[in-house]
C-alpha cells in the first residue's frame, strides 16, 4: 500500500485598510478583506476516511475549501 499526499490548493486575497485620525474629534479604523481559498480538500486522506472523487484527475475535486470566507469587513 502506498500513501502519498497529492493535494494542492491556493489562496488569493485583497486587504484594504482605511484610517481616520482626529477628524473633528473622530478616530476610526476600517478593514475590508476579500479572499478565496480553492483546493482539492482540506483533510488528509492518511488521517481520515475521505477519498478523492476521481483519483485519475485531481482537477475534478478542485473547489472552495470549507474555511473559504469571501468577504470580511471590520469597523
DSSP annotation string for 8-40: -B--EEEEEEEEEEEETTEEEEEEEEEEE-EES
Q: CB of 60 within 8 A of CB of 53?
A: yes
pTM recorded for the entire structure: 0.57
Residue 44 half-sphere exposure, CB side, CA atoms within 13 Å?
Answer: 5
Q: Which residue has the higher pLDDT, 75 or 52?
A: 75
Grid cell for residue 45: 486522506
pLDDT digits (tens, 9 = 90+) for 7-36: 677 888 999 999 999 989 999 999 999 998
Is residue 38 within 8 Å of residue 70, measured between CB atoms?
no
Amino acid at each position: 500500500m502506498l500513501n502519498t499526499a497529492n493535494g494542492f490548493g491556493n489562496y488569493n486575497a485583497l486587504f484594504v485598510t482605511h484610517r481616520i485620525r482626529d477628524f473633528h474629534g473622530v478616530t476610526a479604523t476600517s478593514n475590508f478583506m476579500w479572499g478565496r481559498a480553492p483546493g482539492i480538500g482540506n483533510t488528509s486522506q492518511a488521517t481520515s476516511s475521505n477519498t478523492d472523487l476521481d483519483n485519475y484527475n485531481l482537477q475534478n475535486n478542485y473547489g472552495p475549501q470549507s474555511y473559504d470566507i469571501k468577504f470580511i469587513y471590520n469597523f
